[in-house]
Structure 1
């Protein structure tokens, strides 16, 4: 019974840390998109939409800042 408790507790702790890591990464990506948008509410919605497109297209995390900067530049050009 002791081993069962140790295994369950360890698994729950690992899952919680993974979940927290994923949430923090999502918050950082969202913060990046909103920081590129500035105070313009329409551009903020546009950048959040672009962030969702990047997730749907499975843009690599290391390429995400460049991808979002291009999207912000495209918004300015239109």
Structure 2
């Protein structure tokens, strides 16, 4: 089984509520193939890849900050 399919299956089985929080693996993979090839649109694909990767990092950061905040709030309520 390929990595992308295995990742998707694991997410669906273990954390279905967080499905939209995981890396956009398939979209990034498509762009990597365009960047690594000899396409005349390579520069456009590279810019799109960098933009998507930056967006993914920002999205992850926001998600983890949100999770951290929720953890701190739960922890304060318990103590």
Larger radius of gyration, structure 1 or 2?
1
> Could you tell me the TM-score, scaled by structure 2's length?
0.47
> Could you tell me the TM-score, scaled by structure 1's length?
0.48
